[in-house]
Amino acid sequence: MSGIHDFTAKSLAGEDVPLKRFEGQVLLIVNTASACGFTPQYKGLEALHQEFAPRGFSVLGFPCNQFGGQEPGDASQIEQFCSVNYGVTFPMFAKIDVNGSNAHPLYQYLKKAKSGLLGSSIKWNFTKFVVDRSGKVVARHAPTVKPEGLTKEIGALL
């Protein structure tokens, strides 16, 4: 795998989605959870998506249940939760592992491209990766970084 656009991920509906579909866009890739202290960040993620989508930007959400069992639902429960509580319109994918031997290949790539302060593994839900239009991972942000704090950085890439 040579770049972000070479990967495929399953949508919440179970369909294969080639990330090539997002070629030429700036992306914010986030591992999400419905029962996490950071879950209200869905609101900020959706606001970024709404503000910047017309300029070639997308948030990609990857539910993960590896941190405190904070994403226990199935695909339809996740979709309903995101829609009803936060009006999420950005692409949400099937639940994945982001760490360990079963980590999704996309997350293996992201972690290798941008290590965190404490090494490459993802420490918690709502870790954020910023990807430029060419598919290069340009930044990694901790869960404590709010989506609205990324407005300037994303705007500059657009």
Q: What is the pTM of this model?
A: 0.95
Which pLDDT score, from 0 to 100, does residue 1 have?
Answer: 44
Q: Where are the alpha helices (DSSP H) in 21-150?
A: 41-52, 75-86, 105-113
Helix (H) or strand (E) holding 155: helix 151-157
4-19 pLDDT per residue, tens: 999 999 999 999 999 9
Domains, the chain, ranges and CATH? 4-146 (3.40.30.10)
Residues that are catalytic: 36
Residue ranges of E strands in the chain = 8-10, 16-18, 26-32, 57-63, 128-131, 137-141
**What is the tens place of the pLDDT at every residue in 40-92?**
999 999 999 999 999 999 999 999 999 999 999 999 999 999 999 999 999 99
Residue type, 103: A
